[in-house]
Amino acid sequence: MTTDLKHLLDRVQTWPEEARDELVAVANQIESELKSRVYIATQDELRVIDAAVASIDRGEIATDAEIKAAFAKFRSA
């Protein structure tokens, strides 16, 4: 166990019960996702995906030249 995690778990003991319960719920959710290997997107992630799909539906897509330029920029970084 990492030192940071050990320290966090020590501090958790001083948290209000409600906060500890929330941490347990989040940890259980993470564990469940790790076991099932099924990713469940958050509401914020779903909003970003919906916005991207809507943008594509409106025809707002990059040209081949823009894509090549972006790849060239990131490859040189």
List the pLDDT tens digit at each of the 77 positions of the chain: 689 999 999 999 999 999 999 999 999 988 988 888 777 888 999 999 999 999 999 999 998 999 999 898 888 76
User: What gap in Å lies between CA 48 and CA 54, rounded to an integer?
Assistant: 10
**Residue 76 amino acid letter:** S
Burial of 3 (0-12, 13-18, 19+ CB in 10 A): exposed
Is residue 54 domain-shared with residue 29, that is, in the same domain? no
Task: Copy the structure tokens of residue 57.
Answer: 């539906």
Task: Copy the structure tokens of residue 38.
Answer: 């099924």
Task: Copy the structure tokens of residue 9.
Answer: 């778990």
Is residue 31 domain-shared with residue 48, that is, in the same domain? no
Q: What are phi and psi of 63, to 5 degrees?
A: -80, 165
Is residue 47 domain-shared with residue 62, that is, in the same domain? yes
Question: In terms of residue numbers, what domain contains 8?
Answer: 3-36
Q: Could you give the number of structural domains in the chain?
A: 2
Considering the entire predicted model, what is its pTM? 0.46
